[in-house]
Amino acid sequence: MKILRLVLVAVLLLPIICVGAEINPADQEAMSALIKKKEANAKEKAQIDKEIAILEAKIDHKPPPPENPPINYLQKFATDYNLKIAQSLTDKNKIALPALFQYVHPAHGGDSAQIDIALSLSHDIGSLAAGFTSEYHYNNASTKLQDSLALGGKLDAVFGPNTRDGQLVRGAVAYKRDNLVSGDGVIADLVWFVAIPGWHIGDFYWEWGNFLVGRVEPFVGLQEEFGNGAKAFKDGNRVSSRVGISLKASLFPDYLANRLDLDISESYWRHMQTSGGFDLYEKNQAYSVASLTYWLNTGSDSSGKLSDKEKHFGVSAKYTYGDNPSTSQFDADMWTFGLSILF
C-alpha cells in the first residue's frame, strides 16, 4: 500500500510540475475579464428571454407572463445561505466528494448499508463567512463498522488581495458523537488552504491537453478532539497536526462532456499529544481516497457539456485506504460503489 500512496502523490504533483513553467499573470487577468463578460452576457440573455416570452404570448393571444414570477423560496434560501451537500465539508473548500449512498444485498451473508453525507450553510458577514456544518458517516458491514455524527459551526477568513488569490483559513468546532469509539465529545479544526497563484495551486483550474481539466488544493492545519468514551474506550483527548492535498479533475472533458470526474486525496495526522483511549491511536495516521464519478445530469449547453454547477446526481466508484480519525474510520481497505449527490 506504500506503493499506492506514492502513486497517488505522484499523480497529484505531476500536473503542477507540467504546468508550473507555463503560468503567466496576464492569463489570470484575461480569465477574470472573461468571467465578468460571461456574467454580463448571462444577464443580457435573461433580459432577451424575458422579452421573447412577452412577444410569444402576444403572438399566441395569451396573457403576458407575470412581471415578477413566483419566488422559489427554497432555491433562494439555498443561494443566499450557500447550501452545500457533499461527503465531507468541514475540511474541504471547493474540492468535495459527492455524498455517497450504498446498499448491498449479497446472495450469502447479511445486508449492509453505507452512508457518507455532509450538509453546510454559510452566510457572509463583512469579510468573513460564518456557517453551520453537519456530517454523518455510517457503515454496518461487520468488518467496516462506522457510526459518527458531527454538528457544529465554521468561520472562514480570506487573507490577501481577493478571494481568488488570497489564503483561506477556516476554523471549525463541532459536537461529535461516535457510537463505536470515542463516544460523545468535541472536535475542533484550524485549517489553512494553501494558494500559490503563480503555480495554479488553490482556486485555479488548469488544462492538461485534452486529457483533463483540474485543480489541486493542499492544506495544513491543527486538530483537537475530546471524547468521553464508547464501550471500552476511555475518555481523553488528542492534539494533532495535519497536512493533505487533493486533486479534482474532469477526464477527457471534450469527449465525455465534462461528465467523468476523478478525485484523489491524501491526508496525514501527526498526534502530538494523546490521553485516555486516544493513546491507542498510532502516532502517525494516513488516509487515501480515490474516486471516479460519472454524472447523469442534462447540461444546459447546446452541446450537452456539463458545468460544475450542473453536477448533482451520478454514480461513483470509490477506494479508501488507511485511518481517518476525524470521521472515526480505521483500517479501511475497501471499494465502494453507489449513488452520488452533490449540491
pLDDT tens-digit series, residues 84-135:
888 887 677 667 788 888 876 555 566 778 888 998 888 888 778 898 999 9
**How many angstroms separate the CA atoms of 88 and 287, rounded?**
14
DSSP 48: H
The region that residue 129 occupies, defined by phi over 0 for left and psi between -120 and 50 for alpha, beta otherwise, is beta
Q: What is 159-184 written as a DSSP string?
A: ESSSTTTSEEEEEEEEEEEETTTTEE
Taking residues 170-193, report their average pLDDT. 90
Taking residues 273-289, report their average pLDDT. 91
Give the cell for residue 304.
450537452
Which residue has cell 443566499? 80
Taking residues 266-283, report their average pLDDT. 92
Is the per-residue pLDDT at 280 higher than 60? Answer: yes
Superfamily designation of domain 2-341: monomeric porin ompg (2.40.160.40)
Beta bridge partners of 334: 320
Confidence of residue 263 (pLDDT cuts 50, 70, 90): very high
**How many angstroms separate the CA atoms of 343 and 333, rounded?**
28
Q: What is the mean pLDDT of the chain?
A: 81
**How many angstroms separate the CA atoms of 22 and 209, rounded?**
13
118: number of Cβ within 10 Å: 23
Is the per-residue pLDDT at 265 higher than 70? Answer: yes
**How many angstroms separate the CA atoms of 316 and 292, rounded?**
6
